[in-house]
Amino acid sequence: MKKALCSLLLLFLFLILSSPLHAEVEETYVRLDADNTGFYTWIGGNSRWGKVKLSHDIIYYPGTNAFQFEIGPYFSLGEGKLDILPMVSLFANDLGSGKIDYFLPELFLYSTLGNWYLEGWNSLYLGLTKEGKELPYFYGRYFALYKVTSWVSLGPQVELTLDMADEAEKTLSSLQLGGALSFPYGKGNTILLFLGAETKGDPSFACRGAFTHYS
């Protein structure tokens, strides 16, 4: 597993730093997230591999020392009316362990229709370690934002987790319902907030904040 993790990091460095790709890296961003599970940071962007646009990012969770790498081709249809991003990802629960715990097939959808912006996340966590194989799960995040004014957008948001284990007592282990709010925060910056409630098990407050800087 340590060799696999090192190979993954070397692949990422090759894609980002090799001269033919580095000259065409575009739409880079840094994102800071905080939610009920803790704080984490993203670094990502897009690169050109011939006519193919590749999207890639790394995500680091300092609270648990977890690490994730994602990469996939980016397809844009109808001048932004529908963007499709299938990705593959590797996730390590603890970067220091040298183990890759999950392989993730992922599908991200983005759409801008008039004053509406829609976004959908779909991630299937497939275990690679003994512990991970016993705890496969699906995570989905979906929200729709309507531009109320030139500077603020809001709308509904749903987040869910499906327990895919064979002996799972509850297939739907988490369902968070609420509202999302987005607004600019200076040039090239966006803040996205989610406020809602966890409806499975004991009701609890759910929240998320994300600050993204685009360059």
Distance CA 162, CA 87 (A): 20
Tell me, what amino acid is at 69? F
Residue ranges in 105-177 assigned as alpha helix (H): 130-133
Query: Which residues lie closer than 8 Å to 158 by C-beta, 6 or more apart?
Result: 140, 141, 142, 143, 175, 176, 177
Q: What angle do CA 119, 124, 129 make, to 5 degrees?
A: 145
* Cβ neighbour number for residue 187 with a 10 Å cutoff: 7
Distance CA 119, CA 21 (A): 28
47-70 pLDDT, tens digit per residue, is 887 788 999 999 999 999 999 999
110-139 pLDDT, tens digit per residue, is 999 999 999 999 999 999 988 888 889 999
Token output for 89: 């990802």
Q: What is the pTM of this model?
A: 0.88
